[in-house]
Chain A
Amino acid sequence: MYHLGLLSEYLKNYMKTRLTYRADFWVEVLSDLLFQATNLIFIFVIFMHTNSLAGWSQDEVVFVYGFFMVPWGVFACFVNMWNFSERYIVKGEMDRILTRPAHNLFQIFLENVDPPSLIGSLIGLLIMAVSGLNLGLPFEWWTIPALILLTISAAAIYMGIYTTLTALSFFSDAPTGIIPLMYNIQSYGRYPVTIYNRVIQVLLTWILPFAFVGVYPAGLFLQREEMTRMALLTPVMGAIFVSIGLFVWSRGVRKYKGAGS
């Protein structure tokens, strides 16, 4: 309850600062969506020249992409640590975080909430609805609960991976290019994994499980039987990766000594 109260205060604060510069706000939202749109355009254009991508129809691939957008938006809204190393370690802001009553990682998440990312999630839901209707997918009683559970699980996978990588900056002071690298690997999760070769499939499933943030959970709604088992595994993977992230993070915080200024 205490944490929820804090969250709502920070959200209010965020809205106040952002709405001072309304035009900038909308321009940024729009340009982010434009970036997402290129991926959709790519899908639409390739399906002008074929009617199946490794056995997946256009609507199915678009549906997967729609799902892919939902947990990403949720993750990007609540977990935003892209400049952690510069802001908190190099400048010594981490000292301040550690004196706050809330848990240090939660405090960092709070200070960087980015609600406009949720607009991407909404558009993702819209895309899922449209392509789902085209495919005539059944709407069961479990559809909404499953969607919520899988979204949270997929966002947890993102959080685990990126928290682990961000925590590395506690151990080495050179800013690494590993996070942009990861960001580019995750785009592999938005296509049916069967188009990749065996090695990449294993990598995307078990080591950097980005297949679990897109194609596997989406497969559950698409009634892809070969993916159902994997889709049900998503919450487990989420729990495992969040645990790894929190473990590495707390190890890192223990090692933190402050920047000295």
Chain B
Amino acid sequence: MFNALSDAGSPQGGQDAGTEGQEFRRTERRLLLEAYFDFIRIRFLTMLAYRLNYYTGILIYSLNIGVNYFTWKAIYGQGESLGGFTAAQMTTYVAVSWMARAFYFNNLDREISTDIRDGSIAIQFIRPYNYVLAKMMQGLGEGMFRFLLFMIPGMALAMLLFPVHLPHDPAAWAGFLVMLFFSFLINSQINIITGLLAFFVENNEGLMRMKRVVVDLFSGLIIPISLFPGWLSSILKLLPFQAITYLPGSVFTGRVQGVGIWNVFGIQIIWFAVLLIPLFWLYRAARQRLFVQGG
């Protein structure tokens, strides 16, 4: 998926020789593939070593679900349906959204900006892999850990504590899981873009914090998009953030069914493709900028 990126700039040593023969190139590609796989594996194992920290994470996410659940419950005292959500759907939406965040959340932005600020990115740029792709793989390793040891037990706890109704339709499950993976991809893309901006602004600490607030608020995690006032929700439908939480959540609560699932999935794919452009551009500009400074 990042072919365009690696062709454009990654220093894959010896590839331009051409005469070395196909055999050599094939071995090299295999080694590179294994290296990327190792990025996933190593990050997964590292996270596993610190799994204790995530037990409190599960409690914190349940607390956040709780405060939203009780607030919504108090509001639903009078009305039957708000913004197209019934009370039961809202409970499920809140729980599923937070637990989806347990999976897709990562700190790639912070990792990249730390690499940039302490200069270790220079070393990583000389290595024969694509830096952005390697970060994405590390994110994937973290995501796998979060999925198995954070999201699934968290969901189990949330179902014990709150009246969450999971769908029986296998299509909703399949749709949700695929879309959840794209939530991860889109969120990681946004994180990588934010991180790479550290090349261009002196201190992107504030930028990273603002990004976190914007993603939580505009992705529909805190408030479902359909409950925002009309003008705001129509703006938010033109932004990539809804593809992170709101769209998969809508599929899973059964608000979007049948052909509609393909439509919302299409929106996610479009955003995934569109976000590759600034990512690609920033990565190229960043490399040039680094070389100007002499590495």
Contact = CB atoms under 8 A, between A and B. Distances in A.
Contact of A24 (B63, B77, B205): B205
Contacts of A185: 63
B64 A42 contact: no
A31 B210 contact: yes
A178 interface: yes
A195 B70 contact: yes
A243 B52 CA distance: 31
Q: Interface residues of A toward B: which range?
A: 35 or more
A136 interface: no
B273 interface: no
A42 B78 contact: no
Interface string B181-225: 000000000000000000000110111011001001100001100
Nearest to A61: B71
B56 A27 contact: no
Interface of A: 21, 23-24, 27-28, 30-32, 34-35, 37-38, 41-42, 45-46, 48-50, 52-54, 174, 176-178, 180-181, 184-185, 187-188, 191, 195-197, 200
Contacts of B74: 53-54, 195
A49 B209 contact: no
A177 B57 contact: yes
B67 A45 contact: no
A48 B223 CA distance: 12
A48 to B, nearest CB: 6
A178 B60 CA distance: 10
B205 A28 contact: yes
B17 to A, nearest CB: 47
Contact of A50 (B53, B57, B75, B203): B75
A30 B208 CA distance: 12
A42 B207 CA distance: 22
Given A50-B78, A52-B78, 10 more contacts: A23-B203, A27-B205, A31-B213, A38-B222, A41-B223, A45-B229, A50-B75, A53-B74, A178-B56, A181-B56
